[in-house]
Amino acid sequence: MNIKKQHKKFISSVTVLILMVSTLLSGCKKAPEPIEPGFEIYYVNSSENGLYKVPYELKSDDVKECIDEVTEQLKIQSDKLLYKTVIDNIFMLDSVSIKEDQLYLGFTQEYKNVDPLLEVLCRASLVRTYGQIEGIDGISFTVAGEPLTDQAGNLIGTMTPDMFITNAGNEINAYEKATLTLYFADEDLQKLERTTRTVVYNTNIPLEKLVMDELIKGPGEEDLCPIADPSTKGVSVTVTDGICYVNFTEGYLAGATPVSEDIFVYAITDSLVELNGINKVKITIEGSSSVILTDIEGNGNLYERNLDIVGN
């Protein structure tokens, strides 16, 4: 009788041990690998202020066939009006070609008539979509046979999907429209004239840097004069405690300002203090405020708004 009890006890112990080992082994199994995100077609959302993505499974592994496949998908309208197609709707796709790992998309003349903010969204939808195709490393646009340029005439060049993602990785457009108040020299180079300019910009660029970039590009109006050489490079802009620090590289001296010092200084100052949070401006060359700038009104090169120099 005791032998039977001991035998049952032994069997129970072995059973518990087997269960414990099984549990340990199951816990040591390799964790499943994360599922890779699938292909997605990007459209402009119905409000025209962001992108709308739709999951899609490519049917081919061939690059050219994938491009044709994606192009057809980009033309399909939403039954529920959740998004807007770009190709053959907002503008016409005229040509598609691939050279090595670069995709070239050609568009007809009406591309130039698209609202600037909508144009950026359309561009983002196409680059984000085609850029997922394996074998395509860059995408370039042409319009009526000419390389695509921005509003200021600067060449856009090759684009990649990461150019249209915010720092946080959100898939919303990283671009906004802003109206800037800028000051340029008048025809006689004696006074400043106030003008406004609407631009579409990447929100990762600080507005103060945007203002300086637009000032250096020069005025669009024929009766206004630039305050700096448009080829000026290497301008850094930072804001601390309400003071905007503008620093030019030494190379700026080679393309000396075409206007007097006070016009130059206050065109920059009056333009920057139009922005919220900026009250004063300090201008330096290679960190020094005494290279070409004199001490206007004894203020130690810390400038405030000056409307006396602005014409009527």
189 and 107 share one domain = no
pLDDT band (50, 70, 90) for residue 223: confident
Q: How many domains does the chain have?
A: 2
pLDDT of residue 57: 93
Query: Would you say residue 5 lies in a domain?
Result: no
Query: Would you say residue 135 lies in a domain?
Result: yes
Q: Which of 160-169, 206-215, 243-252 has the highest mean pLDDT?
A: 206-215
Is 150's pLDDT higher than 90?
no
- Phi/psi at 224 (5° precision): -115, 155
Q: How far is CA 196 from CA 202, 219, 220, in A?
A: 19, 10, 10
89 and 199 share one domain = no
pLDDT of residue 222: 81
Query: Would you say residue 209 lies in a domain?
Result: yes
Q: pTM to 2 decimals?
A: 0.54
pLDDT of residue 167: 36
What's the rounded mean pLDDT across residues 45-68?
89
pLDDT of residue 273: 97
161 and 191 share one domain = no
pLDDT band (50, 70, 90) for residue 257: low
Query: Would you say residue 6 lies in a domain?
Result: no
Give the residue from 274, 309, 282 showing the smallest Cα distance to 180: 274
Mode of pairing for the β-strands spanning 243-248 and 235-240? antiparallel
Q: Position of tokens 């959100």?
A: 170
**Who has greater pLDDT, 282 or 4?**
282
Is 50's pLDDT higher than 70?
yes
By residue range, what is the domain housing residue 134?
A: 39-173
238: enclosing H helix or E strand:
strand 235-240
pLDDT band (50, 70, 90) for residue 228: confident
pLDDT of residue 203: 76
